A and B are shown apart, each in its own frame.
Chain A
Amino acid sequence: MSNSTEKIEYVSYLDHQGKYKGLLSWIMATDHKRIGLLYMYSIMTFFFIGAFLGLLMKIEMIAPGETIMKPQTYNGLFTLHGILMIFMVVIPGLSAVFGNFFLPILIGAKDVAFPKLNRLSWWIFVTGSIMAVASQLLKDGPPDTGWTFYAPYSSTTGTNVIMATAAAFVLGFSSILTGLNFIVTIHQMRAPGMRFFNMPLFPWALYATAWIQLLATPIIGITLLMLIAERLFGIGFFDPALGGDPLLFQHLFWIYSHPAVYVMILPAMGVITEIIPTFCQRQIYGYKAVAISSLAIAGVGFLVWGHHMYTSGMSDQARWFFSLLTFIVAVPSAIKVFNWITTMYKGSIDVKPPFLYALAFIFLFIIGGTTGLLLGSVATNVQVHDTSFVVAHFHYIIFGGMGFAFFAAIHYWLPKMYGRMYNFKTANIALVINFIGFNLLYFPQFIIGIQGMPRRYFDYPPQFQPMQIISSVGGFILIFGLILMVYNLVQGARKGEPAPANPWRGSTLEWQIPSPPSLENFDEEPVIKENPYDYK
Chain B
Amino acid sequence: MANNKTHTIEYLTLSKVLLVLLFLTFLTISVTSFHLGPFTVSIALLIAGLKSFLVLSNFMHLKYESLLLRILVAMVFVLFVVIVLITFIDYAYR
A321 touches B2 (CB 8 A): no
Query: Per-position contact with B for A442-461: 1 when CB-CB < 8 Å, else 0?
Result: 00000000000000000000
Point out the residues of chain B lying under 8 angstroms from A303, CB to CB.
Answer: 82, 86
Q: Determine if A340 is an interface residue (Cβ-Cβ < 8 Å).
A: no
Report A174-191 CB contacts with B as 1/0, cut-off 8 Å. Answer: 000000000000011000
The digit string for B56-94, where 1 denotes a CB below 8 A from any CB of A, is: 000000000000100000001001001100110111111
CA distance A318 to B91 in the complex (A): 9
A247 to B87, CA, bound (A): 11
In the complex, what's the smallest C-beta–C-beta distance from B3 to chain A, in angstroms?
12
When distances are taken between beta carbons in the complex, the residues of chain A under 8 Å from B89 are 315, 317-318, 321
Give the size range of A's interface with the partner. Answer: 10 to 19
Give complex CA distance A315, B94 in Å.
5
Report the Cα distance A187→B72, complex, angstroms: 13
User: Which residues of A (236-273) have their CB < 8 Å from a CB of B?
Assistant: 247, 251, 255
A211 to chain B, nearest CB (A): 9
The CA-CA distance from A46 to B68 in the complex, in Å, is 39
- How many Å lie between the Cα of A255 and that of B90 in the bound state? 14
Please encode chain B, from 1 to 35, with 1 for each CB lying within 8 Å of some chain A CB and 0 for all others: 11000000000000000000000000000000000
Kindly supply a per-residue 1/0 record for chain A positions 85-114, scoring 1 wherever the CB is within 8 Å of any chain B CB and 0 otherwise. 000000000000000000000000000000
State how many angstroms separate the Cβ of A246 from the closest Cβ of chain B. Answer: 13
B90–A306 touching, CB < 8 Å: yes
CB-CB under 8 A from B76, the residues of chain A are 215
Q: Which listed residue (A188, A302, A306, A318) contacts B93, Cβ 8 A?
A: A318
From the candidates B1, B83, B92, name the one contacting A255 in the complex (CB within 8 A).
B83
State whether B93 touches A251 (Cβ < 8 A).
no
| With contact pairs A255-B83, A303-B82 given, residues A314 and B90 touching in the complex (Cβ less than 8 Å) | yes
29 contacts between A and B (CB under 8 A): A1-B1, A187-B68, A215-B76, A215-B79, A247-B90, A251-B87, A251-B90, A255-B83, A255-B87, A302-B79, A302-B82, A302-B83, A303-B82, A303-B86, A306-B86, A313-B94, A314-B90, A314-B94, A315-B89, A315-B90, A315-B92, A315-B93, A317-B89, A317-B90, A317-B93, A318-B89, A318-B93, A321-B86, A321-B89
Q: Chain A residues in contact with chain B, CB under 8 A?
A: 1, 187-188, 215, 247, 251, 255, 302-303, 306, 313-318, 321
**Residue ranges of B at the interface with A (Cβ–Cβ < 8 Å):** 1-2, 68, 76, 79, 82-83, 86-87, 89-94
